């Protein structure tokens, strides 16, 4: 385990959860100048863009257990490093939620029972979508997110633009998914807020682990199947066949 890489993942996931969920908790419906759905979606995308440039060269900037597992399934990440990365990401997400809770609780109008940016289905879906709809949405949106990540970071992709493509993709999936589940596509991001929202959020958290992980693995496998393998210099792993 490389402590620097794990620390980078924890810090990056902290920023994604703190700034992304913070935009939803603090700024989304702020009187008169609330940023709304578009603003929250953009905030999540910006967290990935900024951290990709900050720590991408250190850890790869996964910030998400579904991304880590998806990259491993696609042959881009060593399976032995999955657990340390995932643990680091969850720790970062929990610390972010704790600090966000401490800040948000300073407002007399704050009530964590209202959701605290937690993800949910059924009565706790923003649009009251049922379990099956939420499951399908999380799987498909995470799958396509991984597909874009795999493509943007391929050895033959335009150099230097991966963070922008990935951040814009995360913005896009939030625009689609927030009305359905408040959008997860990231178990670490879901775990932190759920711990502080408690109750229903913890009871429904299982979905926001299973669906993103499944979608991430499917996205990694799908891209690996249709694409020539990148060089070992890009992935850190020697390809099974010579790069074209």
For the segment 177-195, what is each residue's pLDDT rounded down to a tens digit?
999 999 999 999 999 999 9
Global pTM value = 0.90
Q: Do 106 and 178 touch, CB atoms closer than 8 A? A: no
- pLDDT band at 230, cuts 50/70/90? low
Q: What percent of the chain has pLDDT over 90?
A: 78
Write phi, then psi, for 181 (nearest 5 degrees): -130, 5
CA distance 237 to 126: 41
65-73 helix and 82-104 helix, angle to the nearest 10 degrees: 160
Question: Does the structure show a pLDDT above 90 at 61?
Answer: yes
- Of residues 228 and 168, more confidence is placed in 168
CA distance 15 to 239: 32
Pick the closest to residue 80 from 214, 218, 237 (CA basis): 237
| CATH class of domain segment(s) 3-232 | mainly alpha
Q: Do 141 and 217 touch, CB atoms closer than 8 A? A: no
User: 202 exposed, middle or buried (CB, 10 Å; 0-12, 13-18, 19+)?
Assistant: middle
Mean pLDDT of 21-33: 81
Q: Give the start-to-end residue ranges of the domains of the chain.
A: 3-232
> Positive or negative CA dihedral for 9, 11, 12, 17?
positive
């Amino acid at each position: 385990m490389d402590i620097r890489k794990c620390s980078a993942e924890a810090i990056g996931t902290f920023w994604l959860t703190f700034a992304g969920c913070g935009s939803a908790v603090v700024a989304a419906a702020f009187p008169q100048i609330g940023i709304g759905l578009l603003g929250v979606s953009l905030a999540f995308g910006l967290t990935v863009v900024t951290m990709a440039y900050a720590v991408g060269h250190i850890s790869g900037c996964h910030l998400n257990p579904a991304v880590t597992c998806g990259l491993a399934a696609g042959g881009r990440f060593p399976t032995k490093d999955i657990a340390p990365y995932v643990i680091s990401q969850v720790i970062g997400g929990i610390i972010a939620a704790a600090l966000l809770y401490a800040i948000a609780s300073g407002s007399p109008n704050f009530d964590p029972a209202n959701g605290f940016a937690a993800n949910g289905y059924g009565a706790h879906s923003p649009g009251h979508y049922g379990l099956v709809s939420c499951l399908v949405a999380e799987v498909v949106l995470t799958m396509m997110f991984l597909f874009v990540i795999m493509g943007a970071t391929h050895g033959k992709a335009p150099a230097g633009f991966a963070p922008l493509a990935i951040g814009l993709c995360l913005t896009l999936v939030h625009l689609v998914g927030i009305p359905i589940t408040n959008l997860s596509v990231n178990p670490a991001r879901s775990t932190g807020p759920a711990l502080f929202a408690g109750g229903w959020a913890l009871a429904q958290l299982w979905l926001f682990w299973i669906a993103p992980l499944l979608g991430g693995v499917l996205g990694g496998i799908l891209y690996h199947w249709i694409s020539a393998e990148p060089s070992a210099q890009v992935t850190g792993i020697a390809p099974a066949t010579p790069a074209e």
